[in-house]
Structure 1
Amino acid sequence: MDFMPIGFIYPERWKCLWCICVVEMENILFWTCLLLLVYRTDVCKADTAHKPKEVLVIGGGISGLAAARKLVNHPSQMFDVTVLEARKERYGGRVWTNRKLFKKPLGAETDLGALWINSKVKDNPILAITRKGELETKVSGPIQLHVPEADKIFKGDEANKIFTEVFSIMQSAVDKVKATGVDIPLQKAVEDEISGHSFQGDRAIITSILRNHNAVSKPDYSTVHFDPVKQFGWNTIVVDGYDQVLDAIVSGLGSELPLSISLNQIVRQIKIDSKKKKVIVRTKDLNQVSADLVIVAVPVGVLRSEAVLFEPVLPKEWYKAVKELGVYDSQKVIVGFSEAFWPSDAGVFTMTTPEGEEPFIQTWFNMQNLIDRPFLVGSLYDGAAINLEQTPIEELKELVIKTLGKLFGGEDLVRQYNLTTIVRSQWTGDPFSMGSGAYPRTGNGEDLWETLSSPVCPYIYFAGDYTSLDGMVGAHGSYNTGIRAAEQILNGRCERELKRQQKRKEEKEKNRRQKG
């Protein structure tokens, strides 16, 4: 007649007490023990219901990291989040502070990806991180406009007047097209505006700036989805490098827990196991891991290449939307000299390119002015950016010297100084980027981003610049798409959608019965 509990099990997180009884059938203690067993089982079921959801974030760029941080920070602590990043040596995606190729680097001069923060954006989350993390930032300083073919340099108010007129023409072109309700390429909209514009400044100079703008130069960039305001305000750098922002997100600020990141995880397949209600993620090395939910945060170029396969396949409208977007190419060239020979009072140097001539690194950013180091960072787009990756390094050096000679007094002057460093990005050929980002093409409708930003319920969510029109305007836009994806999970987006589907199904069945 003994009542003998013989086992207690305490799993790592959720403590469930099981009572196993050995009693004689006729003893009243049997019924007491049975009640206790039922009670403990109910408690354990309640505990199991609160088991953390396992979430895999595919892609360790800034959008994926933002999503992971949002879930990990949730006060319920009900999410076990792991970020799977394809690269072997780093996370961050197209945010890359590559100090390895520089001698005694500080940081900002080695940023081969994201470099600038737009200080004009209200509630910019990147600026908020720099403030909370006490990261030093600096503003670029004034712009100088060089017109080599006319041997002119515009500074201060003169330069500001020219760029103000450029902005005015762009804004007027956009407003007129929006008023018609019919989208056309931005290139055509600007050309139409130029033809009827009464120029206050030099027509040739202003026209050259407009035609070589990276958005205007694309033959299919949407006018109705172009916002000139978002093109201005990119004037702030993180002195020690943009990766300091990433590290703050990953390691956590204040009492935040660090994120869990697994490198060298090249995801090839995302499969839904409906019976187990799990997502199976398979990698290139034939490993697999399961989760309750997945956030896909890989670049649009990778998705368009179908390097990641979905089983079952995603809805047709999703694939169609991904294919309809534009993908642009951009690169950076970082050059260092024995000492600075360029003006110290300007933050940005930009120059015009005569009509019919292929532009090559029109804009250079003055690192000497920002961090007191003799470096210039040049940027270029599209065809020139693609060609850059294939250009032999010695040929690239000559092109850089020739270009800087146009800006700063001739090639002979530039050659007097020792070119100590030349480093370039290669985002187009990078298999984990396949381009630099997405842009809206002529004719893209709002429903496109509704499709790309919506989860494929109940298991798959999406983050990345391509999932939002606002996401295409820099790192802060991509970051916000990660926050949105996490909020969709936290707010029960899929649970609500499934309930709506079930209700519609029930109503349809009810109507069928009534008609029958």
Structure 2
Amino acid sequence: MYAQAADWWGWDFEAAWTPDESGLVFGVAGDNATFGYFSDISNLVIDQRGYNYFLKQEAKTFLKENDPRLLLKTTVEGIEYNKKGVKVTTKDGGCIEASYAICTFSLGVLQKDVVEFKPKLPHWKQSAIDQFAMGTYTKIFMQFNESFWDTDAQYQLYADPIERGRYPLFQPLNGKGFLEGSNIIFATVTGEQAYQVERQTDEETEAQVVEVLQSMYPDKKVHKPTAFSYPRWSTEPWAYGSYSNWPVGMTLEKHQNIRANVQRLWFAGEACSTEFFGFVHGGYTEGREIGHRIGRIINGEAGDDEFDMERYEVLHGTTHKDEYNDENGWLFPYDVDGDN
């Protein structure tokens, strides 16, 4: 059971999927790219302004307060596209027409077919979307009257004697430099356990977590938490999951088919990122790349066809080294063989 806990810590904790369900080459390359390009430190965001603060500040550079161009709490139901433009219809009866559009739905939404595309997305694209993996990564937050755990330990790993990945990790938030005095701790579950938790009631999950904590601290009396909350990413209609993962058998060519545009409808988001899938900066780099491409078209630097992204209606099997290039989304000079 200790080996299983270590296995979860070494892979699932980042990928939200098991090693058996994940592509090794791209899984390792993606992890190395993130921690190699930026920093080997994994920071926990505790900014009381919220994680979206930086996004709001970026938006202020081109959006006014209550700008009518930004439609919040608006559900897209249909997207019609052709060589002349894109028309988007919303649940409230709205209609938006544009020369170009960038689709940034999560992979989970695209897999659920909750948005009607006219015409339907071509097979080469839809099959790639369906094969890529959408994970569920759930944090369960609890607040107690007092801290019965070791506040100096940032990570507290639990090895369940029966089930791999059952409430395997707890992280206190009242350690030095965090939310001192808060008596808050949170658990993390992924994969099948996350799906199960997100379909239980809060009361069922709370009872299970308290039972695990009691087994971890047998000399303490673990009472019910005074506050208890967790998200349900896999059931949210605007997400249907937390973030993507590179599955076994997914080639670079097939992933490029997720990225590729169809006429004047373009795609971006973390699942489109070859190197940073599953990370916020993956969504950022893909959005920037596609925005620049469309900008060059609008500015007359080239026609639509000249800036069309690479696509593979016929796949060629195993990914070869010369395919790691800009056209296939390999935007940074990272060598998967470890030479750089």
TM-score range, shorter chain: 0.7 to 0.9
User: For each residue in 1:274-295, what CA deviation from the matched residue of structure 2 results, as whole angstroms up to 9, or x when unmatched?
Assistant: 5xx3321111233211111111
Counterparts of 1:213-224 in structure 2, within 5 Å, are: 213-214=11-12, 215=15, 217=18, 219-224=20-25
SS in 2 for 1:383: helix
Q: Using the TM superposition, give the Cα deviation of residue 467 of structure 1 relative to its aligned residue in structure 2, in angstroms.
A: 0.9
In the alignment, does 2:11 pair up with 1:210? no
Partners of 1:496 and 1:209 in 2: how far apart?
Answer: 52
Task: Tell me the residue number matched to 2:147.
Answer: 340
Of structures 1 and 2, the larger Rg is shown by 1
Partner SS state of residue 478, structure 1: helix
Which of 59, 67, 87 is residue 250 of structure 1 equivalent to? 59
Match for residue 287 of structure 1? 94
- After TM superposition, the structure 1 = structure 2 runs for residues 390-405 of structure 1, keeping only pairs within 5 Å, are 390-405=199-214
Aligned-partner SS, 1:401: helix
SS at match of 2:80: strand
Counterpart contact for 1:302–1:432, Cα < 8 Å: yes
- Name the counterpart of 1:321: 128
Task: Return the letter of the residue paired with 1:345.
Answer: D
Using the alignment, how far apart are the partners of 2:226 and 2:59 within structure 1?
33
The 8 Å contact of residues 104 and 267 in structure 2, kept in 1 or not, is answered as yes
Render the CA deviation track for 1:284-321: whole Å, top value 9, x for unaligned.
23321111111100111111121112222333211111
Equivalence for 1:476: 281
1:401–1:411 CA contact under 8 A, matched in 2: no
Return the match for 2:290 from 480, 485, 490.
485
Q: 1:497 to 1:337 in 2, by over 3 A?
A: same
Q: Is the 8 A contact 1:334 1:422 kept in 2?
A: yes
In 2 relative to 1, CA 295–341 (structure 1 residues): closer, same or farther, beyond 3 Å?
same
Within the alignment, does 1:309 sit opposite 2:309 as a pair? Answer: no
- Cross-structure match for 2:104: 297
Judged with a 3 Å threshold, the aligned counterparts in structure 2 of structure 1 residues 322 and 235 are, in CA distance, closer, same or farther, namely: same
* Structure 2 stretches lacking a partner, 5+ long: 309-340
- In the alignment, the residues of structure 1 paired with residue 153 and residue 119 of structure 2 have an alpha-carbon distance, to the nearest angstrom, of 55
- 1:500 and 1:427 map into 2 onto residues whose CA distance is 35
What secondary structure is seen at the aligned counterpart in 1 of 2:113?
A: coil
Query: What is the distance in 2 between the residues matched to 1:463 and 1:268?
Result: 18
Q: What residue in structure 1 maps to residue 240 of structure 2?
A: 434
Q: 2:254 is matched with which residue: 442, 448, 451?
A: 448
Deviations 1:158-211 (A, max 9, x none): xxxxxxxxxxxxxxxxxxxxxxxxxxxxxxxxxxxxxxxxxxxxxx74554115
Q: Is the 8 A contact 2:271 2:282 kept in 1?
A: no
Return the TM-score normalized by structure 2: 0.76
Q: Which has the higher helix share?
A: 1
1:362-511 pair list within 5 angstroms: 362-369=168-175, 370-372=178-180, 373-407=182-216, 409-410=217-218, 412-415=220-223, 419-457=225-263, 459-492=264-297, 495-496=302-303, 498-499=305-306
Whole-Å separation in 2 of the counterparts to 1:322 and 1:273: 20
Native 8 Å contact 1:239 1:371 kept in 2 = no
Would the aligned equivalents of 1:361 and 1:380 in 2 still touch at CA under 8 Å? yes
CA shift, 1:497, in A, is 5.1
Judged with a 3 Å threshold, the aligned counterparts in structure 2 of structure 1 residues 451 and 379 are, in CA distance, closer, same or farther, namely same
8 Å contact from structure 1 (residues 273, 280) kept in 2? no
Given that 2:8 and 2:165 are in contact with CA atoms closer than 8 Å, whether structure 1 keeps it comes out as no
CA contact under 8 A between 2:87 and 2:98: conserved in structure 1? yes
Checking the alignment, whether the CA contact within 8 Å between 1:301 and 1:435 is kept in structure 2 is yes
TM-score (norm 1): 0.51
Alignment of 1:23-102 (within 5 A): none
Distance in 2 (CA, whole Å) between partners of 1:390 and 1:359 is: 17
Identify which of 24, 37, 43 aligns with 1:235. Answer: 43
Name the aligned partner's letter for residue 223 of structure 1.
Answer: L
Percent identity, please: 20
1:446 Cα deviation after fit: 0.7
Conserved? CA contact 1:335–1:376, under 8 Å: yes
Aligned residue type for 2:157: T
The one-letter code matched in structure 1 to 2:221 is L
Tell me the secondary structure at the aligned position of residue 224 of structure 1: helix
The question of whether the paired residues in 2 share the 8 Å contact of 1:404 and 1:411 is answered with: no
Secondary structure, aligned partner of 2:105: coil
Q: Which of 225, 243, 249 in structure 1 is aligned with 2:26?
A: 225
Residue ranges of structure 1 left out of the alignment (5+ in a row): 1-203, 502-516
Q: Distance in 1 between matches of 2:186 and 2:307?
A: 52
1:271 to 72, 80, 83: 80
* Matched position secondary structure for 1:379: strand
Q: Note if contact 2:145-2:225 (Cα within 8 Å) is conserved in structure 1.
A: yes
Structure 2 Cα separation of the partners of residues 288 and 351 of structure 1: 51
Q: Is the partner of 1:399 in helix, strand or coil?
A: helix
Report how many aligned residue pairs link the two structures: 288
Q: State the 1:434 CA deviation.
A: 1.1
Aligned to 1:170: none
